[in-house]
Amino acid sequence: MNINYRCRASILSLGFLLQLISSVAIGQLPSTSDLSGQWRIRDGNPPASAAWRDTLDDSQWQQMNYNFMFSPD
């Protein structure tokens, strides 16, 4: 076994391990959607981007605004 082969094998193994760790870590991140499929507002602020606004219709935004304003905190 030459050194070049061992070096390549160890780099491939390290790359696979890093990819596995990162995919597990990403899977542990909190979701932006709850179990019913409704989008949550984080920290009471609605998302600012147009892409977020397009995911909900007006009635859903109104309900979320109502829930935020009258939540029993």
Same domain assignment for residues 40 and 72: yes
Q: Report which DSSP code applies to 34.
A: -
Digit-coded pLDDT (tens) for 3-34: 788 888 888 899 988 998 888 777 766 655 55
Place of tokens 């409704």: 38
Cα–Cα distance, 54 to 44 (Å, whole number): 18
Domain count across the chain: 2
pTM of this prediction exceeds 0.75: no
Same domain assignment for residues 26 and 45: no
Same domain assignment for residues 53 and 22: no
Same domain assignment for residues 48 and 17: no
Same domain assignment for residues 41 and 62: yes
pLDDT score recorded for residue 6: 82
- Show the tokens assigned to 22: 């990162």
Q: Which residues contact 66 (CB under 8 A, 6 or more apart)?
A: none
Same domain assignment for residues 26 and 4: yes
Give Cα 26 to chain centroid, integer Å: 7
- The domain of 51 spans 32-73
For residue 57, give the amino acid letter: D
Same domain assignment for residues 43 and 25: no
